Amino acid sequence: MKKKILFIQPTIYDDRGILVKKSRLYFVGLAFPLLAAMTPPDWEVEICLESIEEIPWDTDASVIGVGGMGHAANRGKDIARRFKALGKTVLMGGPMVSLAPDLVQTFCDAVVMGDAEDVWSEVLHDLENDTLKLRYRKELTKLSTPVPRYELITSKRIGDFLPVQAGRGCPNSCSFCSIYCLYRTRYFRRPIPEVLRDIQRVKDLGFRKFLLLDDNIVSDRDYMLELCHAIQPLRMQWLSQCEITVAKDSELLAALAQSGCNMLSFGLESIQPASLACINKKWCKPEEYRELVDRVTDAGIEVASEMIVGIDTDTKESLRATIAWVASTRIVAPKFYIMTPIPGTDLFNKMQSEGRILETDVFTFTASKAVISHPHLSTSELDAIFWEIYDGLYTLPCILRRTIFQKNFFRKPKQFLFLLGVNLFYRYQIKRRIAPIVL
């Protein structure tokens, strides 16, 4: 067996079944550079990022590893099936595959479930000895990893930052969230010297920005505060995601800004308390959102947001109110997702038990098409108001107001011009009924 593995990060299909392609990929996954670093040097490793390049179907790699986030599992399944038909040994992994391995088992030779750190050496051993098992899983007990092999992706058409991991998991228990269903409120932190080592590697490669990968960077306040103080001397810029309550901690917020954090993404989900209670996120207080967003932006950190369309308590009126509310805030990059039950999550199991899932092929689920029955809205009404929200918030006046006409524009003109470009690209996608995605 030729000891070569090709890792593929799939793109997704749009609602017409067409592959979504980009000229540049900004949010590059860390899983494959990390797995490459954990692969012995006698294995050759290549990485393909399908959203910006074509898959080499004629590859001489004997092993194909396919992974990806969320709805990319649909495209991943098709890639795996084709390579298996070509006689390759195919491995699959990723959050959705980990939660519902039965969905993909017939399309591949083995499923790596959950975190791969403690099973990867076993997978490679079994590949070399022709003893591959159908599934591999080992619960994570600590998070410590080598320097990712960033050099495998830096020559590709990627953005101006690379991913660095701080932690995995989240202490919250939101019912729709795949992270909660994978980690069940556990949160793992990497040793700070390791995180700094990886940031320094990113800097040595000529990058001045990094994406701090962590499902909720304020899960451990003391850890985050120490990490911020350690990052500050490196003079790097970075972005991440966490819960909006970080804005209540003035010391931590100041430390984030001083360390170079210039953007945070918050899962706000809804401006209706009843909707948040429905998804076990009632610790969020929508009446505080505006003030908290202002605190973050006043600290010099821009705000992106994610919200859900189609929670059980939603109505046309409440969802339309979201348009006006977001437009009146200083959120620079609002994104929305139709409530979609990801297989293996608590939400999926609940909806399935209640007979509310209307589409039988879970691989067709996307973040822009309703697939569950709703107490107040039909699927066509949900689909329509989803696009109404996007159309209403991505008009040219709205885009200009939250980018060029931001009061902080002259403090960071390059950043806001970049955000203008992001908003215009999102508008371009929306006009073609492609939901803005992180790929």
Q: What angle do CA 61, 62, 68 make, to 5 degrees?
A: 75
The CA distance from 367 to 30, in Å, is 22
Distance of CA 199 to the CA centre of its chain: 20
Number of separate domains in the chain: 2
Do 194 and 71 lie in one domain? The reply is no
**Six-digit token string for 106:** 């017939």
Q: What is the pLDDT of residue 345?
A: 85
The CA distance from 99 to 182, in Å, is 7
The CA distance from 107 to 97, in Å, is 11
Residue 161 has pLDDT above 60, yes or no: yes
Do 51 and 200 lie in one domain? The reply is no
Do 214 and 166 lie in one domain? The reply is yes
pLDDT in tens, 94-107: 888 888 889 899 99
Do 310 and 418 lie in one domain? The reply is yes
Phi then psi for 39, rounded to 5 degrees? -95, 130
Check: CB of residue 169 under 8 Å from CB of residue 219: yes
Domain of 78 in residue numbering reads as 4-137
373 vs 112, 136, 149, 272, 338, CA distance in Å?
Answer: 33, 35, 45, 20, 12
Do 48 and 93 lie in one domain? The reply is yes
Q: What is the pLDDT of residue 185?
A: 82
- CATH code of 425's domain: 3.80.30.20
Q: What is the mean pLDDT of residues 187-207?
A: 96
Q: Per the domain annotation, does 426 fall within a domain? A: yes
Q: Per the domain annotation, does 341 fall within a domain? A: yes
Categorize the per-residue pLDDT at 439 as very low, low, confident or very high, splitting at 50, 70 and 90: very low
Residue 186 has pLDDT above 80, yes or no: yes
Q: Per the domain annotation, does 145 fall within a domain? A: no
pLDDT in tens, 357-390: 998 888 888 888 999 999 999 999 999 999 999 9
The CA distance from 41 to 312, in Å, is 52
Do 273 and 408 lie in one domain? The reply is yes
Do 131 and 166 lie in one domain? The reply is no
Q: What is the pLDDT of residue 412?
A: 86
For the stretch 397-434, what's the b/e string if a residue is b when 16 or more beta carbons lie within 10 angstroms of its beta carbon?
ebbeebbeebebeeebeebbeebbebbeebbebbeeeb
- CATH code of 126's domain: 3.40.50
Q: What is the mean pLDDT of residues 285-292?
A: 94
Residue 222 has pLDDT above 70, yes or no: yes
Q: What angle do CA 298, 301, 303 make, to 5 degrees?
A: 100
Do 318 and 287 lie in one domain? The reply is yes
Check: CB of residue 399 under 8 Å from CB of residue 417: no
Do 297 and 178 lie in one domain? The reply is yes
Do 326 and 389 lie in one domain? The reply is yes
Q: Per the domain annotation, does 408 fall within a domain? A: yes
Q: What is the mean pLDDT of residues 324-331?
A: 95
Q: What is the pLDDT of residue 438?
A: 56
Q: Per the domain annotation, does 387 fall within a domain? A: yes
Q: Which 8-state DSSP code applies to residue 151?
A: G
Q: Per the domain annotation, does 154 fall within a domain? A: no
Distance of CA 56 to the CA centre of its chain: 25
pLDDT in tens, 40-68: 999 999 999 999 999 999 999 999 999 97
Q: Per the domain annotation, does 290 fall within a domain? A: yes
pTM of this structure: 0.93
Do 24 and 168 lie in one domain? The reply is no
